[in-house]
Structure 1
Amino acid sequence: MQFRLASLHKNVWGGTLMVALGGGVVWQSLQYRVGSLRVMGPGYFPLVLGIILIATGVIIAIQGSLAAPRPAATEKLAPQWKAWALISLGIIAFVVLAQYFGLVPATFAVVFISALGDHGNSWRAAAVLAIAIVAVAVAVFWWGLQVQLPLFRWPPFPWLAA
């Protein structure tokens, strides 16, 4: 049986990438003072996260290697230009709307526009998802972390209001 790299399960590749990334995080965290559990240094938390990333990557890679090899691709899938365009547009909309209108409209726009990039989502599903993510974003970023971005900004263009 001939071994081909392309026949490996995608989880093997993903797990390997996570192990490599975790290794880089661990290596970089060792450039700082790690300290101990009682007196943590600036490198302690990244070290722990890197180790967790490595362990997760190993588990995913092992799970992927135990899966049946995927069959060779018989058809070439066309690029999903609609998804690329809508996700990019969503990010641009977030940047612009956050600056002039605030966190709530910007978060709603990025999630709603990006969700429409998936052909399986309807307008209603995208709106429900956007409303849910706005609630989470307000709770986490505005209330929990107290990010200095107003929920709403009105008038959006102060120089026009005068």
Structure 2
Amino acid sequence: MRGMLTDKDVLTGLLFIAIGAFFAIGAQDYAMGTMRRMGPGYFPVVLGSLLVIIGTVLAIKSVVRRLPEPIDRLHIRPVLGLTAAILVFAALVERAGLVAACIACVVVAGIASSETRWREAALIAVGMAAFSALVFKALLGLPFRLWVF
């Protein structure tokens, strides 16, 4: 039992189950709708349920395998860098526009790895901003401001 609780696939499965259950249960107060006319609760319930199923399969597969694979040490730099990138995007998308938020998100995400090449990160940032503007604003018509002005 003890080795099982340090197995990374079991813990990953349990984390998936917890996150999926949180969203599926949390969305129970929203109307589900149908597949054709989805209500606000449809997406979180379906995805949360799928996450619970995937987590259960992953955890069971690992327990049946009986070869626990221990968790490596936690690398804090990627966790903080990617979390900061998400927070920067969320803070900037309304205030500075989609383009600036995308560029800032990619640049801040570059902190997550010591192997980041800043020239490549800059090219990815510009490409991501252009792609996001094309897909979300031009093609889907979502009400994002592209620029601050």
Please say whether Structure 1 and Structure 2 have the same fold, judged by a TM-score greater than 0.5: yes
Aligned twin of 1:159: none
Q: CA RMSD in A?
A: 3.8
Q: Which runs of 5+ in 1 are unaligned?
A: 155-162
Structural mapping, 1:2-17, within 5 Å:
3-4=1-2, 8-17=6-15
Contact 1:98–1:105, Cα closer than 8 Å, also in 2: no
Alignment of 1:105 with 2:100, yes or no, is: yes
Structural mapping, 1:60-139, within 5 Å:
60-65=58-63, 66=65, 68-71=67-70, 79-80=76-77, 84=80, 88=84, 91-92=87-88, 95-96=91-92, 99-100=95-96, 102-139=97-134
Cα deviation, 1:104-156, whole Å, max 9, x if unaligned, reads 122112212321331122112312332332233213332244343332334xx
1:53 to 39, 51, 62: 51
Instruction: Indicate how the Cα distance of structure 1 residues 72 and 42 shifts in structure 2: closer, same or farther if over 3 A, else same.
Output: closer
Cα deviation, 1:63-95, whole Å, max 9, x if unaligned, reads 44337323587xx77853x97378637844873
**Greater CA drift, 33-42 or 47-56:** 33-42
1:22 to 20, 23, 27: 20
1:146 to 126, 141, 148: 141
Instruction: Indicate how the Cα distance of structure 1 residues 50 and 113 shifts in structure 2: closer, same or farther if over 3 A, else same.
Output: closer
Contact 2:88–2:101, Cα closer than 8 Å, also in 1: no
Q: Which runs of 5+ in 2 are unaligned?
A: none
Contact 1:94–1:109, Cα closer than 8 Å, also in 2: no
* Larger radius of gyration between Structure 1 and Structure 2: 1
Cα deviation, 1:31-84, whole Å, max 9, x if unaligned, reads 4454555676554443322321211212322344337323587xx77853x973
Contact 1:108–1:134, Cα closer than 8 Å, also in 2: yes
Aligned length: 148
SS at match of 1:116: helix
Contact 1:107–1:130, Cα closer than 8 Å, also in 2: yes
User: Which protein is richer in helix relative to its size?
Assistant: 2
Identity of aligned residues (%): 30
Query: How far apart in 1 are the matches of 2:102 and 2:71?
Result: 40
Aligned twin of 1:158: none
Which amino acid in structure 1 is aligned with residue 129 of structure 2? Answer: V
